[in-house]
Amino acid sequence: MSDLNLKNGTSAKSAYNLRPNFSDIVERHTLAVMVENEPGVLARVIGLFAGRGYNIESLTVAEVDHEGKLSRITIVTTGTPQVIEQIKAQLGRIVTVHEVHDLTVEGPSVERELAMFKVAGDGEKRVEALRLADIFRANVVDSTLNSFVFEITGAPEKIDAFADLMRPLGLVEVARTGVAALSRGG
């Protein structure tokens, strides 16, 4: 009984093996989830991701319809196509979730994120930071003799690029809101 000729991916200590032979290409998807704005609804969504081992790259939430008591949660997540489908189906099961939209596949959409960057330095670096901020259309929302706080809005890639440029120029602190997204068209 000792040799059960176990196959790769299985363990002698495990009764089962969950390795489906679906596509294993990991994709990034932006989901818009309309939920009832009731206590605990965010915990339900986050608990689902934590409990089932899904990724959250970013998450934003705010009430968008006060009369209808609806909030919109925008989640950027990653996973194989099968995992993404599961995430959507599992979100849809939550009793207080009204709609789940996968903006990545439901036609073109626009994504924006707001970020604030504190950059400290003086001399040439300070000038350079200001010059780059101008190119990126970042606003200066606070300034001291040796620091700036920039505010920038844009697609996450633009904010990543700005962060990369600020890092050698004295980047001290970053705050990002996470992605808000809407589908394009009517």
Partner 1 sequence: MTRQMTGAEMVVQALIDQGVDTVFGYPGGAVLPIYDAIFQQNHIKHVLVRHEQGAVHAAEGYARSTGKPGVCLVTSGPGATNAVTGLTDALLDSIPIIVLTGQVPTFMIGSDAFQEADTVGITRPCTKHNWLVKETDALSSVLHEAFHVATSGRPGPVLIDIPKDVQFASGTYNAPQPSTSHYQPTVKGDITSITELVEAMEKAERPLFYTGGGVINSGPAASQLLRELVAATNFPITSTLMGLGAYPASGDNWLGMLGMHGLYEANLAMHGCDLMINIGARFDDRITGVISEFSPNSTKAHIDIDPSSINKVIRVDIPIVGDVGHVLEDLMKVWKSRGRKTNSSAVGNWWSQIKEWQAIECLKFTQQGKVIKPQYALSRLEALTKNHDRYITTEVGQHQMWAAQYLGFEDPNRWMTSGGLGTMGYGFPASIGVQMGHPESLVINVAGEASWLMNMQELGTAMQYNLPVKQFILNNERLGMVRQWQELLHGERYSSSWSESLPDFVKLAEAFGAKGILCSDPDDLDEAIMEMLNHDGPVLFDCLVEKHENCFPMIPSGKAHNEMLLGDADTQGAIDAKGSVLV
Of 13 and 184, CB closest to partner 1: 13
Taking a C-beta distance cutoff of 8 angstroms, is the pair 63, 71 a contact?
yes
Sequence-ordered list of residues with C-beta below 8 angstroms from that of 75, at least 6 positions apart, any chain: 30, 31, 33, 45, 49, 56, 58, 59
Residue 93 CA to residue 98 CA, distance in Å, equals 10
Helix (H, G, I), strand (E, B) or coil at 92: helix
Give the helix/strand (H/E) hosting 36.
strand 27-36
Cβ distance to partner 1 smaller for residue 19 or 28: 19
Which residue in 25, 53, 67, 95 binds partner 1 (CB under 8 A)? 95
Question: Per CB under 8 A, does 98 bind partner 1?
Answer: yes
Report if residue 21 touches partner 1, rule: CB under 8 A: yes
Does residue 18 belong to the site contacting partner 1 (CB under 8 A)?
A: yes
Contact 177, 154 (CB under 8 A): no
Among 2, 53, 123, 184, binds partner 1 (CB under 8 A): 2
Name the residue nearer to partner 1 (CB basis): 78 or 90. Answer: 90
Nearest partner of 162 among 117, 104, 107, 109, judged by Cα: 117
Return the residue of 27, 57, 85, 128 that touches partner 1, per CB under 8 A.
Answer: 85
If one asks whether residue 43 binds partner 1 (CB under 8 A), the answer comes out as: yes
Closest separation in Å from C-beta 167 to partner 1: 39
Q: Which stretch binds partner 1 (CB under 8 A): 81-89, 121-129, 134-142, 153-161?
A: 81-89
Of 38, 54, 35, 36, which is closest to residue 46 (Cα–Cα)? 54
| Interface positions with partner 1 (CB under 8 A) | 1-2, 4, 6-7, 9-22, 36, 39-40, 43-44, 47, 51, 82, 85-86, 89-90, 92-96, 98
